[in-house]
Amino acid sequence: MFAIEASGVTKVYRRFSNRRQFATLKSALLRGTVFRDLHPAGTFAAVRDVSFKVPQGTTYGIIGRNGSGKSTMLKLVAGITKPTEGTVRVNGRISALIELGAGFHPEISGRENIFINGIMLGLSKREIARRFDEIVEFAELRDFIDAPVKTYSSGMYVRLGFAVAINVDPDVLLVDEVLAVGDEAFTHKCLDKFAEFRRRGKTILLVTHALNLVEKFCDDVLWLDGGGIRGEGDPRRVVSEYITDVAKAEEKDLAARDARERERVSQSVPTAGPAGDAAGAPPEPPADMFKAGEGRWGSREVEIVDVRILGADGAPRHVCQSGEPATIEMTVRARQPIEAVVFGVSMFNADGVCCYGTNTDIEDLEVAGFSGEQKVTFRIKSLDMVEGTYKLDVAAHRVDGYPYDYHRQLYSFRVMSNAKDIGIYRPPHTWEFSAGIGARGRTIEN
């Protein structure tokens, strides 16, 4: 027995062009297009040929990036919009936690709103009266229930909406990213309520970006991408495929951003004459180097022509896994033989905090002079950093600090991690317990 059956569902929205957006009765009459204007012209498929079945009593997750059609799918299941093609069948009473408190009237009290909202969601007056105390209790609004809803804070508003919707006692519960409301305690209460629903054999359709929730709660997962199905099935497998895909997209995004940044810098800083021509005044380094934003300066007697971040497999990337090896590879060029040179690297987190910085001089490496194009490689055995986006400085300068080429935060990379630990540095570690403490779960093996 299936609680939800969607087969071949396609939802096409009208795409508004400028002209059509301001379509008015007058212009429609003048052009004689009254009835044509009631039909879509330019279209856009938000959901494309999606089929899935949700067995009764299971929890089904829908994941996907922004704009992938998740919410549209949920609205189709809820019956709020009708599919352009295909059918959606739902067995049993639906309650949709989509827009909480969407039918509240601000001028009247919470008490009256509970009744009206409940009736809208399909309860009778008597049923609401019976559940009234439970609803108020759940929303934690006992003291304010007779105040007009317009005086509520946004949190109170949403809590009340949630409390009413969840007490409708539906057979099928549709949840759209609503667990973000309320404090920790309220979120736990909501999760408990979901667990109770599951125990009682109700069906839940969950749309969320909280992947850990999906892994923990869902029996099956549907991954939507661009309106179509990308994957379906076991949560762990689908979620990990999804994460890989997101990382790839992020990779592309970071690469594009870096390219734009370098483009901007190379335009604003004219290259300093032919190499060695000291007359071509090198762009001045900023007064306080550590407060400077993105930029590039130096005389370019030694030029860093390319910087690449390589993963464990030696392929260039912008997204790395925490704890895995990483390599920063610089291609440098000296147009004329150069004497001693110092190479440096440092990394900054999103707050601009320097997580690590070093150079060959600090580490007592004497780099002999060179000429032509060469490669400098900075190898990190294990990238022990917490999850986040980092920016990279690379530099070539003289031992006395005179800059040849300084690239300030022109490169970024993202570190991904399974653990959501905090800070800026993750020392390789393990947890150990004496025999008296039992412990289960993943542990970070470093």
d(CA 106, CA 153): 12
Of 14 and 237, the one with the shorter C-beta distance to other proteins is 14
Give the E-state strand segments of 251-298 in sequence order: 295-297
Residue 245: exposure state from Cβ atoms within 10 A (0-12, 13-18, ≥19): middle
Q: Which of 293, 306, 295 is nearest to 269 (CA)?
A: 295
Helix (H), strand (E) at residue 131: helix 125-139
Instruction: Decide: 179 and 204 in contact? Cβ < 8 Å.
Output: no
Of 75 and 189, the one with the shorter C-beta distance to other proteins is 75
Asked whether position 120 contacts other proteins by CB under 8 A, the answer is yes
Asked whether position 88 contacts other proteins by CB under 8 A, the answer is no
Of 123 and 330, the one with the shorter C-beta distance to other proteins is 123
Smallest distance from other proteins to CB 119, Å: 5
Please identify, among the stretches 19-27, 253-261, 270-278, 285-293, the one whose residues bind other proteins according to the rule CB under 8 A: 19-27
Asked whether position 422 contacts other proteins by CB under 8 A, the answer is no
Of 120 and 249, the one with the shorter C-beta distance to other proteins is 120
Region 134-153 residues binding other proteins, contact defined as CB under 8 A: 148
Asked whether position 102 contacts other proteins by CB under 8 A, the answer is yes
- Chosen residue from 43, 99, 209, 216 binding other proteins by CB under 8 A: 99
Burial string for 13-39 (b: 16+ CB within 10 Å, else e) reads: eeeeeeeeeeeeeeeeeeeeeeeeeee
Smallest distance from other proteins to CB 22, Å: 9
Strand order in the sheet with 85-90: 43-55, 2-14, 85-90
Of 116 and 145, the one with the shorter C-beta distance to other proteins is 116
Asked whether position 103 contacts other proteins by CB under 8 A, the answer is yes
**Helix 154-166 and helix 110-120: axis angle, to 10°?**
40
**CB within 8 A of 84, min separation 6: which ones?**
10, 11, 12
Q: Which of 266, 295, 289 is nearest to 410 (CA)?
A: 295
- Chosen residue from 18, 19, 32, 38 binding other proteins by CB under 8 A: 38
- The count of chain residues that interact with other proteins, using the rule CB under 8 A, is 33
The neighbour count for residue 195, using CB atoms within 10 Å, is: 12
Task: Provide DSSP, 186-224.
Answer: HHHHHHHHHHHHHHTT-EEEEE-S-HHHHHHH-SEEEEE
Asked whether position 26 contacts other proteins by CB under 8 A, the answer is yes
Asked whether position 79 contacts other proteins by CB under 8 A, the answer is yes
Asked whether position 263 contacts other proteins by CB under 8 A, the answer is no
Of 80 and 362, the one with the shorter C-beta distance to other proteins is 80
Asked whether position 23 contacts other proteins by CB under 8 A, the answer is yes
Asked whether position 312 contacts other proteins by CB under 8 A, the answer is no
d(CA 434, CA 322): 28
- Chosen residue from 13, 187, 243, 380 binding other proteins by CB under 8 A: 13
Chain residues in the site for other proteins (CB under 8 A)? 13-14, 23-26, 28, 37-38, 75, 78-82, 94, 96, 98-99, 102-103, 105, 107-108, 112, 115-116, 119-121, 124-125, 148
